[in-house]
Amino acid sequence: MSNIPLMPKATAVWLVDNTALTFEQIGDFCKLHPLEVKGIADGEVAQGIKGLDPISTGQLSRDEITIAEKNPDRRLKLQESKVRLPEQKKRRGPRYTPVSRRHDRPNAILWLLRSHPELKDAQIIRLVGTTKSTIQSIKERTHWNSAQLSPMDPVTLGLCSQIDLDLEVQRAAKDRPATPIEDRGATLLPADVTTGHDEIEEAPKGRESLDLETVFAKLGGSKKNENEDDDED
């Protein structure tokens, strides 16, 4: 049995809205980053996704949630789901979209481009059954209806399932190359550099003593001349 709940983002949306669990607890259960869960709570992530009740699907119990709410260090345990999903047959080619839903595809493409920029064009084609030229026109704002488009979740529109969307996002995350060190921006200087004192170059002792003797000799000579002038007066 997989340790990932059904429709992780939809489950996270429900837990954020209906429980007092911490972002870390929800992220650990749904296998999401705590900052992503915080984005869901702030309305910046998973916009338009309807929450999925993990209690009704048998993945969590109310008692388990109550105990975890009282103890922030406790981690939720996934129960065996009572819902049996039918085996999905592998499709070849783009997804078929009903005629009544085809006018919603540009809005879904715009949502995918904004919410999941890591997705490749081929993945978007699989999800909503569109063409590469349509995706390109929406990217470049040359689509004939570009001014009227508004981003809408393809799951809410019924163009794809949440499971398919999560699967494509996970694939895109695995294929994303690691950020080179030189492209990660400026880094902090080492502590020995920021806290160390600048070394002060000291003059050689011989040079310092020579300068002092010269100065005192000049002062002594000046004073002797003044005394001779006084005696002449």
Model confidence pLDDT, tens digit, residues 167-192: 898 888 877 665 554 554 544 555 55
Q: Of the candidates 55, 70, 85, which is a domain's last residue?
A: 70
Q: Of the candidates 175, 197, 223, which is a domain's last residue?
A: 175
Give the range among 124-138, 148-162, 205-219 with minimum mean pLDDT.
205-219
Q: Are residues 164 and 112 part of one domain?
A: yes
Burial of 162 (0-12, 13-18, 19+ CB in 10 A): buried
pLDDT at 181: 45
46 in any annotated domain:
yes
pLDDT at 7: 84
Q: Are residues 104 and 165 part of one domain?
A: yes
Give CA–CA dist 51/153, Å, rounded. 13
pLDDT at 138: 93
On the question of pLDDT at 221 being above 70, the answer is no
Q: Are residues 115 and 66 part of one domain?
A: no
Q: Are residues 161 and 105 part of one domain?
A: yes
Give CA–CA dist 53/17, Å, rounded. 10
Give CA–CA dist 74/97, Å, rounded. 44
On the question of pLDDT at 199 being above 60, the answer is no
At 158, is the pLDDT very low, low, confident or very high (cuts 50, 70, 90)? confident
Domain containing 15 equals: 8-70
83 in any annotated domain:
no
pLDDT tens by residue, 80-110: 655 555 555 555 555 555 555 668 899 999 9
88 CB-near residues (< 8 Å, 6+ apart): none
- Look at 218 and 200; give whichever has higher pLDDT: 218
76 in any annotated domain:
no
Q: Are residues 38 and 104 part of one domain?
A: no
Q: Of the candidates 175, 202, 225, which is a domain's last residue?
A: 175
- Look at 149 and 79; give whichever has higher pLDDT: 149
pLDDT tens by residue, 7-23: 888 899 999 999 999 99
How many domains does the chain divide into?
2
On the question of pLDDT at 213 being above 50, the answer is yes
90 in any annotated domain:
no
Each as own residue / partner, the long-range contacts of residues 20-26 (CB below 8 Å, 24 or more positions apart, any chain) are: 20/69, 21/65, 21/68, 21/69, 21/76, 22/72, 24/72, 25/68, 25/72, 25/74, 25/75, 25/76
121 in any annotated domain:
yes
On the question of pLDDT at 32 being above 60, the answer is yes
- Answer for the pair 127, 112: CB distance below 8 angstroms, yes or no: yes
Most confident of 44-58, 135-149, 212-226: 135-149
Q: Are residues 60 and 125 part of one domain?
A: no
51 in any annotated domain:
yes
202 in any annotated domain:
no
191 in any annotated domain:
no
Name the one residue in this structure whose structure tokens are 């085996």: 87
